[in-house]
A and B are shown apart, each in its own frame.
Chain A
Amino acid sequence: MLAKPTKNRHLITLIGCLYLIIHLTACQDDHLDKATSRYEFVAPSNFPAPTYTFYNNSITEEGFKLGRKIFFDPILSIDGSISCSSCHNQSLAFADNPLHPVSVGIDGLVGTRNAPGLANLAFNSEFFWDGGVTHLDFVPINAIESAVEMGEEIAAVVAKIKNDAEYPALFEAAFNTTEINMPLLMDALAQFMLLMVSDKSKYDAYLKGEETLTAQELKGLHLFNEKCESCHSGILFTNQGYFNNGIDSVFSDSGRANISANPLDIGKFKVPTLRNISVTAPYMHNAKFRTLEEVLNHYEHGLISSHSLAPSLVQANGDLGIPLSIEEKEAIIAFLETLTDYEFLNNALFFKE
C-alpha cells in the first residue's frame, strides 16, 4: 500500500519540478525581453531611417547608464560646476531654462546661442544651429571645450575620468576593456542621447488613430500644413535645411556661413524640430522670442529683409511674411501644443540616478 502513493508522489514531484522549470524559464524570458527592449533603440515605424552609426556603437544597459551618469556629472567642466544637464533639462525636452536664453557656463560666462532641446538625435545628420558637426559622437566636445560653456580640454576630462573612483569599473562593464579614451566617453554619451526618442505626443496618438484632435487643433494642423510645413516638414517637423528667417539684417553670428564659407549662407540657421516646442522657449538661435505668439507675430509682420532671406517668406506680391489672422495663429499654437510628448518629459529612464 505504501508503494503506490510513493510512485504517485514521485510523479507529482516530477510534474511539479517540470512546471517550476518551465515557469521559471518563462519568467526569465519575460524579464530578459523587457530588459533588452528598454535599452534597445527602436526607430518609430513612421520616422525616417536613423543616421547614427549603431554598427560601431550599439546600445547596452551598462553603456546607457554610464552615459546617463556622465550627462549629469560636472566632471566634464574645468571647475566642476557645469554638466550637460545644466543647459539640457528633461522637463523642458532637454532644452535650457527660459531664464538662460543663451547658455550660461563656467564663471557665469554666457554663450551666444540658445541651447536646443535634445530628442530624436539618431535621425539628425547635422548638429548645432550651423550644422558644423556631422556625427552625434562629436557633439559633446564642443560644449566641453567651449571657453564659455565647460571650458575644459577633452584630454583633461579623460584624465579625470581615469583617476575617478567609480568610472573605470563602469567603463569596463560597458565596453569590456580597461582602456578609457575620448571615443568611449562619447560612445557612452551617445548611447544615452540616442534613446531620447520622442514619438508619444498627442499628435502621434492622433496619427495612430488612438486619440482625436479638437476642432481648434485640427484647424491648426491644416493651417500648419499650408503655411509652415515647407520648412518644418515631415514627422520630425524639420527639413534639416538652413534658412534666414528674417530675425535681423545685421549678422553678429554668421550662422551656416561659418561652416559653408558661402556668403549666401550668412544669417542662415538650421530649421529646428517643432516637437515639444511648447516647452522649449525661448525661440530662435539668439532666443529673440519668449513665446510662440511672438514667433508667429514675427512670421506674420516682423520679418527683417536682407539678401539671404528665405524666398518662402516673401509673398508673390513682394510683401514679406506669412499672412495669418489672430484666430489662425491661435489655432496653429493649439496644434503645436499637441506636439508635446509628456511621456518623454517624464520618462524615468532619463532621470539622474
Chain B
Amino acid sequence: MKNVQYFLFSITFLLVTFSACTKDEVETAEHGQFSLNFDNMVGANELALTEETNNTFPYENEQGQTFNIQTLGYYISRIELTGPNGEYYEDEVTTGPMSEEVKGFYHILESDISTHLLTLDNVPTGTYNQVTFTLGVEADYVQQGATGGVLDPANGGWLWNWDAGYIGWAYEGRSPASPAVAGTFNPDNSVKAHIGGWKEITGNPAMTNNVKRITLDFPSSADVTEGGNPNAHIVMDLLEALDGHHQVDFSTTYAIHTPSAGVDIAHNLETAFRVDHIHL
C-alpha cells in the first residue's frame, strides 16, 4: 500500500516537473520585432494634405480630373506574418471598453505620422516573406458592441452610427470635376469616399461587405532575429484606389456614404497596397 502511494507520488512529481519543463521551453523560444511602415502615395508622387479652402489641385486621376486631399486614412487589423518554412506570427486581437484592452487594431491616419509605423513584438525568429491583414473592422469585432481605443468615436474612431460599423477606409478632398453644389455632405467641389459595410445577408446580394483581407508578398524575405527589427515599407496608392479595377469619375461619384456606393473603391483597394521594399 505504501509502495503504491510512493509510486503515485513519484509519477505526479515527474508529471509536474515535466509539464514545467515544456512550458519553460515554449517561453524561452526566440522572438524579435517586425515593423510595418504605411506610406500613402498618389501614383509615383508623395501624398500631401491641404486645407479644405485650398484651391490648388496637385494630383490627377486617369481621366485627367485634378484633385487634392484633406483626409486619408484606414483601419488595419488582424495582422499575420508567414514565412517559407512554416514561420507564422499572428498579432493579438482583443476588444473591450478600456483602451488598454483593445489590441490589434491600427488606425492609420495620413495626418498623424505616429500612426504610420506599427511595431509587432514577440515575432518568432525566422524568415518571413508575406504579410496578411484586414482592411477595415470585421463583423466579429463590430458585434462586440461599443469598443474603446482607436475604435472609440469619442477618441477619433471612425464609427458609422446610422448603419452601425466602422469606416474601413476614407478619402476626403476636392476636385473641380465634382459639382460645386453646396449640400450637407458636399460643400464646394468636395469628394468624400467613406468605405464601410461589413454585413452579409443570405439572399440579399445588395448587402455589402467591404471589409477586405489582403495578402502581400515581400519583394525580398526578412529575417526576424532577437534584437533585430526589420521593416516592411508598405505603399497604399491612392491612384490605384481611384483608378484600379474601376475608374472613379468625380463628376458623378463624389459622395460615398453607404456600403453599396463604396463597392467599386473597395474592390480597387484589394490591389492598392504593396510591399515596396524591406529594410533589414
Residues of A within 8 A of B (CB): 53, 56-57, 132-138, 141-142, 145, 154-155, 157-159, 175, 177, 179, 181-187, 190, 258-263
Cβ-defined contact, B164 with A175, below 8 A: no
Interface size on B, residues (CB 8 A): 31
Please tell me if B280 contacts chain A, counting CB pairs below 8 Å.
Answer: no
Q: Using Cβ atoms and an 8 Å threshold, which residues of chain B touch A154?
A: 153-154
Please tell me if B11 contacts chain A, counting CB pairs below 8 Å.
Answer: no
Take A56-B144, A134-B143 as given contacts and tell me if A260 and B201 are in contact as well, using a CB distance cutoff of 8 Å: yes
Partner of A137, one of B145, B207, B259: B145
Partner of A182, one of B142, B144, B152, B259: B152
Please tell me if B258 contacts chain A, counting CB pairs below 8 Å.
Answer: yes
Closest chain-A Cβ to B106's Cβ sits at a distance in Å of 18
- Stretch from B36-44, B52-60, B93-101, B271-279 contacting the other chain: B93-101
Partner of A135, one of B98, B143, B259, B260: B143
Closest chain-B Cβ to A243's Cβ sits at a distance in Å of 15
Cβ-defined contact, A53 with B206, below 8 A: no
Closest chain-A Cβ to B203's Cβ sits at a distance in Å of 10
Q: Using Cβ atoms and an 8 Å threshold, which residues of chain B touch A185?
A: 146, 154
Most buried by A among B98, B143, B161, B258: B161
Please tell me if B163 contacts chain A, counting CB pairs below 8 Å.
Answer: yes
Take A182-B154, A261-B207 as given contacts and tell me if A138 and B161 are in contact as well, using a CB distance cutoff of 8 Å: yes
Partner of B164, one of A138, A158, A261, A262: A138
Take A56-B144, A135-B142, A260-B204 as given contacts and tell me if A182 and B155 are in contact as well, using a CB distance cutoff of 8 Å: yes
A31 to B96, CA, bound (A): 32
A77 to B260, CA, bound (A): 31
Nearest-neighbor residue (CB-CB) of B184 within chain A: A147
A138 to B164, CA, bound (A): 7
Partner of A57, one of B142, B145, B199: B145
Cβ-defined contact, B204 with A187, below 8 A: no
Please tell me if B126 contacts chain A, counting CB pairs below 8 Å.
Answer: no
Nearest-neighbor residue (CB-CB) of A176 within chain B: B98
* B:163-213 near A, CB below 8 Å: 163-164, 199, 201, 204, 206-208
Cβ-defined contact, A134 with B206, below 8 A: no
Please tell me if B159 contacts chain A, counting CB pairs below 8 Å.
Answer: yes
Q: Using Cβ atoms and an 8 Å threshold, which residues of chain A touch B96?
A: 56, 183
A134 to B98, CA, bound (A): 21
A132 to B199, CA, bound (A): 10
A183-B96, A263-B206 given; 5 more Cβ-contact pairs under 8 Å: A53-B143, A132-B163, A141-B159, A154-B154, A262-B206
Cβ-defined contact, A179 with B164, below 8 A: no
Partner of B162, one of A132, A158, A159: A132
Nearest-neighbor residue (CB-CB) of A133 within chain B: B164
Closest chain-A Cβ to B103's Cβ sits at a distance in Å of 14
Cβ-defined contact, B153 with A141, below 8 A: yes
Nearest-neighbor residue (CB-CB) of A187 within chain B: B97
A261 to B207, CA, bound (A): 6
Take A133-B164, A155-B154, A260-B207 as given contacts and tell me if A187 and B260 are in contact as well, using a CB distance cutoff of 8 Å: no
A137 to B164, CA, bound (A): 10
Nearest-neighbor residue (CB-CB) of B260 within chain A: A261
17 A-B pairs (CB sep. < 8 Å): A56-B96, A56-B144, A133-B161, A133-B162, A135-B143, A137-B145, A141-B153, A142-B162, A181-B152, A182-B157, A183-B96, A187-B97, A258-B163, A260-B204, A261-B260, A262-B206, A262-B207
Partner of A179, one of B99, B144, B259: B99
Cβ-defined contact, A261 with B162, below 8 A: no
Partner of B144, one of A53, A145, A262: A53
Please tell me if B147 contacts chain A, counting CB pairs below 8 Å.
Answer: yes
Closest chain-A Cβ to B209's Cβ sits at a distance in Å of 12
Partner of B161, one of A57, A145, A158, A262: A145
A182 to B149, CA, bound (A): 10
Q: Using Cβ atoms and an 8 Å threshold, which residues of chain B touch A190?
A: 145-146
Give me the 4 closest cross-chain CB pairs, A-B, nearest first: A137-B145, A261-B260, A183-B97, A183-B146
Cβ-defined contact, A157 with B154, below 8 A: yes
A132 to B258, CA, bound (A): 11
